[in-house]
Amino acid sequence: MISMRKKVCFLLGLFTISIVSFGQMTDPLLRNCALNAGAKARYLKDFRIQLGKTTTQGELRYKANISLWKNTKYRFTLCNSDDSTGELILNLKDDSEKLVVSSYDPKTGRTYHSIDFLCNKSGIYQLNYDFLGGQPGSGVGVVSIIE
């Protein structure tokens, strides 16, 4: 027979896990951004970006690494908070720091809120986020697998 102490510990553990899991999607910006990825997109990870204004242009300021798998199609969805001045952009670089895809086209000045990437080589990739023109802002980047 299971002791009362074990039952309480088990229930407390389940409660903690459910709070942590549910807590991620209670953020309306994250929830909406994940929904904007589309019906065939399966949520993997999110990155919350909050940056102040900068006067120096160059490398994008927020950097994170992610492991991507060959022959897998990924969708990167970008969402700005309502109070954000800048527009969130993303550059994805491979392990040799070569740009493989970007949500900003400097030739046209157009930004994309969602970009797809078919990974041709498994490895660690670098996500580089910033706000266009070094503007201040906050937003979220969601990474999904397209099924």
The tens digit of pLDDT for each residue in 83-114 reads 888 899 999 999 999 999 999 999 999 999 99
Decide if 135 contacts 52 (C-beta within 8 A): no
Residue 5 lies in a domain: no
pLDDT for position 21: 44
Asked if 52 contacts 113 with a C-beta cutoff of 8 angstroms, the reply is no
SS3 5: helix
CA-CA distance, 131 to 139, in Å (whole number)?
9
Predicted TM-score of the model (pTM): 0.79
pLDDT tens digits along 18-51: 444 444 457 888 998 999 899 999 999 999 999 9
Domain count, the chain: 1
Structural domain contains residue 36? yes
Residue 81 lies in a domain: yes
CB 100 within 8 A of CB 47: no
Dihedral angle over CA of 30, 46, 43, 16, nearest 10: -80
CATH number of the domain within which 104 lies? 2.60.120.380
Q: For residue 14, is it within any domain?
A: no
Secondary structure (3-state) at 9: helix
Range of the domain at 126: 28-146
**DSSP states along 14-50:** HHHHHHHHHHHTTSHHHHHHHHHT-TTEEEEEEEEEE
The answer to the question of residue 7 being in a domain is no
